[in-house]
Amino acid sequence: MLISPRWRKIIRDLSSNRTRTILVVASIAVGIFAVGTVQHLRTVILAEMQAIYNQSGAAQATLIAPGVDDATLDAIRRMPEVAAAEGRSSLGINVAVAPGVWQSFNVTAIDDFANNTVNYLLPAGALANHPDFGVEKSRWPEKDEIVLERASLDAADALPAGLQVGDGLLVENDAGRQRTLRVTGAVYDPNGFPAAFTGSASGYVDRETFIRLGGPSTYSQIVIRVNGTPAQLLDKEYITEIANKVQDKLERGGFVVQQLFIPEPGELLFQNIFDSISLLLTPLGLLALFLSGFLVINTISALMAQQVRQIGVMKSVGARRRQIIRMYLGAVMIYSLLALLIAIPLTMVVTGAVLQFAGSYI
């Protein structure tokens, strides 16, 4: 197969100064890699977070109010503006991770695991880092049993080494009373604080077990979802108005609302963190790509300056200005194609690794 003189010259120019070619290709690849990685991560993570949010029944408002009883919770559920309401209570205890070694542990009471209507606990899925845990055997806990939040298994020294479904977990409350809880599996709580942030493990028990551990029989927080049109469900002012009505009802009942928290509607708890990171990295990636473009321009300009005589010879034998420009643009195209061959696979590999890491924070 014969190669035209134009392409032979382009290939010769690229191969005659390999160092220059490598530098130009590498600089373009860095820019493409930076922009591609950030945008790919942003697209995948935001799409995944939105899908998780849609499945999670996330609370649209949380009211911290210790001492709320079942009668008051039922009254809140009967409010026409409230679509669903659940009571939650949490307790800080300690878990034995080795003989004589204790770590902090957070346990949350769930009244009815199977019929929970707010802040769902989702199946944990496969646990690549813990194939022997037995997550496929997971079930809801009963008396003196506990189901773990999946991120707890990855927290350093937060749980006993080699823990499996069916094992006993020795815990101790502040009063020094110890109990052994049977591990029934792992779940994913997309609306909770992952162990990667807190540094401690967490789990969920039924109300009876929670009381036996020293927890109160009442609720310390109320989580609600509101009724409304699709537009209203994404309107923070509308949600705040209904949450204030719930707060008024609690306060009229003699309860003290210590805090009212309303997350950004339609978003998971930590989505703003990923948005901020993306907002920071995107301009940096574009800047790298912009600077690599300047390097290409400087390289082609220097090459043309070195080849003034060659350009003159080409014109003397009939080459037109347009043909010469197309020839040097062909060199730019080859630089770009070589950079793409490097940047695209690297982007896919790095994106996959970052997504796996980010999964522990979602």
The model's pLDDT over 101-138, given as tens digits with 9 standing for 90+, comes to 999 999 999 999 999 999 999 988 888 788 899 999 99
Task: State the pLDDT confidence band at 149, using cuts at 50, 70 and 90.
Answer: very high
Secondary structure (3-state) at 354: helix
User: What residue ranges do the domains of the chain occupy?
Assistant: 5-51+272-361, 59-265
Q: Which one-letter DSSP state was computed for residue 98? A: E
Q: Which one-letter DSSP state was computed for residue 121? A: P
Task: State the pLDDT confidence band at 362, using cuts at 50, 70 and 90.
Answer: low
Q: Which residue has the higher pLDDT, 23 or 174?
A: 174
Most confident range, picked from 156-160, 191-195, 239-243, 310-314 = 239-243
Q: What is the pLDDT of residue 252?
A: 95
Task: State the pLDDT confidence band at 35, using cuts at 50, 70 and 90.
Answer: confident
Q: What is the pLDDT of residue 51?
A: 85
Residue 254 has pLDDT above 80, yes or no: yes
Q: What is the largest CA-CA distance in the chain?
A: 97
Mean pLDDT of 124-153: 91
Task: State the pLDDT confidence band at 241, using cuts at 50, 70 and 90.
Answer: very high
By the 8 A CB rule, do 103 and 201 touch?
A: yes
Task: State the pLDDT confidence band at 14, using cuts at 50, 70 and 90.
Answer: confident
Q: What is the pLDDT of residue 322?
A: 81
Task: State the pLDDT confidence band at 336, using cuts at 50, 70 and 90.
Answer: confident
By the 8 A CB rule, do 46 and 208 touch?
A: no
User: Alpha helices, DSSP H only, in the chain?
Assistant: 5-16, 18-56, 70-77, 195-198, 207-212, 236-252, 271-306, 308-316, 321-358
